[in-house]
């Protein structure tokens, strides 16, 4: 299913092809947690569904996980 979301950081509309059903998407929209509605998706895909942030924008904004650990 192709999902379109507005990124909360850039205000740009992004899209991503995800292995989800309309039923699970609607359950998430009604309040079911992403990790419960989509346990088979990876963290980047779930973040996209929650915030519209793509992996590329996440890395540009926050860096890679190993870079985050060093800056703490």
Q: pLDDT confidence of 64, banded at 50, 70, 90?
A: confident
Residue 16 has pLDDT above 90, yes or no: yes
Q: Total structural domains in the chain?
A: 1
Its domain, for residue 34, covers: 2-71
Provide, rounded to the nearest whole percent, the portion of the chain with pLDDT above 90: 86
Q: pLDDT confidence of 36, banded at 50, 70, 90?
A: very high
Q: Which two tokens stand for residue 54?
A: 């793509």
Instruction: Give the Cβ contact number of residue 45 at 10 Å.
Output: 19
Mean pLDDT of 4-29: 97
Q: pLDDT confidence of 30, banded at 50, 70, 90?
A: very high
CA distances from 11 to 19, 23, 25 (A): 24, 26, 21
């Amino acid at each position: 299913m192709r999902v379109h979301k507005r990124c909360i950081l850039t205000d740009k509309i992004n899209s991503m092809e995800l292995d989800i059903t309309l039923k699970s998407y609607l359950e998430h929209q009604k309040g079911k947690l992403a990790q419960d509605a989509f346990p088979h998706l990876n963290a980047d895909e779930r973040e996209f569904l929650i915030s519209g942030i793509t992996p590329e924008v996440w890395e540009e904004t926050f860096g890679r996980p190993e870079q985050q650990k060093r800056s703490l």
